[in-house]
Chains A and B, each alone.
Chain A
């Protein structure tokens, strides 16, 4: 784990700097600077993510993984350093709607039907009604909820709500999908099912994914790279490459899977000492 920087450089070099989806250089985040409740949430972060990667951010609470995700989303500005998305400042990428986002709570609007929920970003982008309806039909098919188009969120189970949230995040075909513990509130069986669904969608859409989690098996199962983060201040402790190939039910019993789980767990133990 000592050669973290070189691993990082190797990945970014392979992709070529211009085609990076995310390029973070020396980004820090201090909340309430200069006040008594000042918190250094993130130390200097360097991270590059290439197209089509599936990155998970994993670490103990307070390690700044959600903060890092919000820097990329430009929901909060960095205190220092730069965050670039698709080769432009994160702020511009947000204004250009380059990414979709999903949260731990599905965050659907209760007063809108499933269809209207998925349509929301398209409405804001001024799509015509016909175009919206066509796209929603495609998205519903993708998340296998076509027959629930006119249901309201309160009529759906938690897993189904989360699928609607994913459809909403991907409805305008962003090149990047940012997910903040999206399956954290689901039971274990639903969670594993949703992970398979997400992998299928990731392959179909060729979207780049950044996924925050605190589940080790989830991080290993999903990602192409797992970023292990350390707290106080938040930083990247190690980056673990994962290559499990095509994943299916048997992958979870695969020795290679367990090896990676152990590797991530060991890295996390070191962080928490």
Chain B
């Protein structure tokens, strides 16, 4: 047998090359920690700047009496700076600690409970949207002719304004959805609206992902005489995950938007949508509460985005791009 057998691994030029690469990877991991810290700091600083800008503009407008002087845009094109139009930042955040009349919980607690309610609706809709989206992606990937026939309608479905279809879904839900073995409830209609916003990015990106394996990877599976399901399960689905997660980040935040708009249309009590509607209604007596509730919705959106990002790191951490050769 050739002499290479006795060769120690360390003398192998490929292994040496690998060691260098490994060291670089280790440094990269350390960089990741640094990056997360830096990103967090940047975010907090950015928020602070935003609050400062808001407060500064408000103070400036107050000092000149809004559109009274040469600065005609202040208080006319830009919002007026009185406390009704722009409640002070301190009061907005102060609201979170207040206990509204007739309540036994502070406002932050109330918002939290309502956010959980909305999150449930959104999550149910998100899951159904994920399943429907992937089913569409699979069907389109399987039958190319279907892609040409069906895809325009999938895209067109997204051009219908949500405000228009939300009440229709709610009314249909109340009147027509009695084919289901369970009693249809309004929050389910809200979930359907979330589904409507979720399935689209999943279908489009899922299709791209399922079609992403290189021809030689497909040929490799064929050379093993792998059947359709084996190829799907071991090659095309895992290959689609990076594409899918890009879609899921959009879909997760969209499902929250869908749930909030859906609650408003459906008149469902108990969630953030209803909360925002109520605070808008009572704006004149408590503008800071509307701002605080909108902030709550924003935090919920950021939260689901971060959750999807974290799951993505766990699931496709090694799968950055096509393996470089």
Determine if chain A interacts with chain B: yes
Q: Pick the contact of A203 from B1, B241, B323 — CB < 8 Å?
A: B1
List the one stretch of A6-14, A21-29, A120-128, A224-232 in contact with chain B.
A120-128
- Cβ of B142 within 8 Å of any chain A Cβ, yes or no, is no
User: With A107-B214, A108-B323, A248-B2 as given contacts, are A163 and B14 in contact (CB-CB < 8 Å)?
Assistant: yes
Whether a CB of chain B sits under 8 angstroms from the CB of A162 is yes
Could you tell me the distance in whole angstroms from the C-beta of B156 to the nearest C-beta in chain A?
33
Would you call A158 and B324 a contact (CB within 8 A)? yes
Whether A104 and B216, one on each chain, are in contact in the complex, defined by CB atoms closer than 8 angstroms, is: yes
Q: Are B25 and A155 in contact (CB under 8 A)?
A: yes
Complex CA gap A208/B325 in Å reads 25
Does the CB pair A154–B318 fall under 8 Å? yes
Q: Which of A112, A147, A193 is within 8 Å of B14, CB to CB?
A: A193
Q: Are A105 and B4 in contact (CB under 8 A)?
A: no
Q: Mark A145-179, 1 if CB is under 8 A from B, else 0.
A: 00110001111111111110000000000000010
Taking a contact as CB atoms closer than 8 A, the residue among B216, B220, B318 that contacts A111 in the complex is B318
Chain B residue numbers with a CB within 8 Å of A248 are 2-3
- Contact of B224 (CB < 8 Å), options: A97, A108, A156: A97
A248–B15 CA distance with the chains assembled, in angstroms: 20
Interface size grouping (class) on chain A = 35 or more
CB distance from B3 to the nearest CB of A (A): 7
Q: Is A109 an interface residue (CB 8 A)?
A: yes
Chain A residues near B1 (CB, 8 Å)? Answer: 200, 203-204
Closest to B318 in A: A152
Q: Which residue of A lies closest to B222 (CB)?
A: A75
Instruction: Give the CA-CA distance A238 to B318 in the complex, in Å.
Output: 46
B238: Cβ under 8 A from any A Cβ: yes
User: Taking beta carbons and an 8 Å cutoff, which residues of B are in contact with A?
Assistant: 1-5, 7, 9, 12-15, 17-18, 21-22, 25, 214, 216-217, 219-220, 222-226, 230, 234-235, 238-239, 241, 316, 318-325
Task: Give me the 5 closest cross-chain CB pairs, A-B, nearest first.
Answer: A103-B216, A152-B318, A110-B319, A153-B323, A101-B223
CB<8 Å pairs between A and B, sample of 30 = A75-B219, A97-B224, A99-B223, A101-B223, A104-B325, A105-B216, A105-B323, A107-B216, A107-B217, A109-B217, A109-B235, A109-B239, A120-B234, A124-B225, A124-B234, A125-B224, A153-B323, A154-B320, A154-B323, A155-B18, A155-B21, A155-B25, A156-B18, A158-B325, A159-B14, A162-B325, A185-B325, A197-B4, A203-B2, A204-B1
